[in-house]
Structure 1
Amino acid sequence: MEVLVYLVPLALALGFVGLLGFLWSLKSGQYDDLDGAAWRAIADDEPANDQGPSK
């Protein structure tokens, strides 16, 4: 039972650090454009060759 004296504050401290990291990411704009990142991942960056196959 005496190990709980160390584990409970450690768990609370890690939870607080995680919460601070999440709040920092909200403030810095990490979640502003969720759709843009998804479309950039699947976008075709190479220009289309509409002239047909080359010889």
Structure 2
Amino acid sequence: MQRQTRCTCVLPTPPWWGSEELRPGLILDFDADGRIVAVEILGASEHLSSDADLRHMTVA
């Protein structure tokens, strides 16, 4: 079984209410008011540049 990488960014907002997969592997989570509370990239290493280091990503 091949290991799949995942990158998840959870924002400091109200609790999760629902999700939408915008395209295969790109998922947004929303609160009850429709605000984005998390972004998830499945198979992240396949979508990012070869020199990207997921362990050191930051959010501004």
TM superposition score normalised by structure 1: 0.21
The structure where helix makes up a greater share of residues is 1
Give the structure with higher Rg (CA): 1
TM superposition score normalised by structure 2: 0.20
RCO greater where, 1 or 2, for CA within 8 Å and sep 6 or more? 2
The structure where strand makes up a greater share of residues is 2
